[in-house]
Amino acid sequence: MTRRTALFSLAALLATAAPVTAAAETMAMKLLPVYSRATFKSDAPLETIVGNTAGDGVSGTLSFDPAKPSTATGTVKVDLKTVKTGVDKRDADMLGKGFLDVDAGDKNRYAVFELRSVEIAGPLENNKDLPAKVKGVLTIKGKPVDVTADAVVRYVKLSPAQLTEDQKKFGFTSDNLKVRAKLGSTFTNHGMEVPQLLFLKVSNDIQLETDLTFVRQ
């Protein structure tokens, strides 16, 4: 299965979901890697550095009630070894001892976001985007920082008739959740020096973006 085929399946899923008001039920969700990605951006004087990972580089779990989304809790992990910026030398320097030092153990290898609370205007409606403020703790290189993300949440409930074998093959279930989020931090927040390219320092600010799909376990 290619990523393009998977994206076509996701688009079909969103198009066919019927409008249904969410019923109260807390459910365990898991992240669907083929439909999920994480990105970081940092500005330098001569370029914008963009790092991406997707698929097996992103994992996570969520406890979620679509009728009470503000009570959601969960964890998302990004394997920093899988992040690529398009320049092999820069990637090696980023992962090495002078910076992330990912070979020193899991606390350096993984960036972890722990969801603590969600500010959102009421229950979710099927296949409808709803903005939210997502608060939690972001840990990079063993240094936790409180952060708030601007997010857009979409809940997709599939009836038995809609949940075809093709949908199941791509990992979808009766309950599916798409979360797109943006948040910020800094290198120094997480105990890292601001990187330098040639003789020019990169901005201390890091912009993080995620596009995540969760399915019911």
In whole angstroms, give the CA distance from residue 33 to residue 50.
20
Amino acid (1-letter code) at residue 61: T
Domains of the chain: 3-216 (2.40.128.110)
Q: Convert the pLDDT of each residue in 48-83 to its tens digit.
A: 889 999 999 999 999 999 999 999 999 999 999 999
**What pLDDT was estimated at residue 44?**
81
pTM: 0.84
In whole angstroms, give the CA distance from residue 32 to residue 52.
17
Residue 135's DSSP bridge partners are: 117, 148
- Write 53-58 long-range contacts (CB < 8 A, 24+): 53/78, 53/79, 53/82, 53/83, 53/84, 54/3, 55/3, 55/82, 56/82, 57/33, 57/81, 57/82, 57/83, 58/31, 58/33, 58/210, 58/212
Q: Convert the pLDDT of each residue in 95-143 to its tens digit.
A: 998 889 999 999 999 999 999 999 999 899 999 999 999 999 999 999 9
**What pLDDT was estimated at residue 10?**
54
Confidence of residue 174 (pLDDT cuts 50, 70, 90): very high
The HSE-up count of residue 160 (CA atoms within 13 Å, CB side) is 0
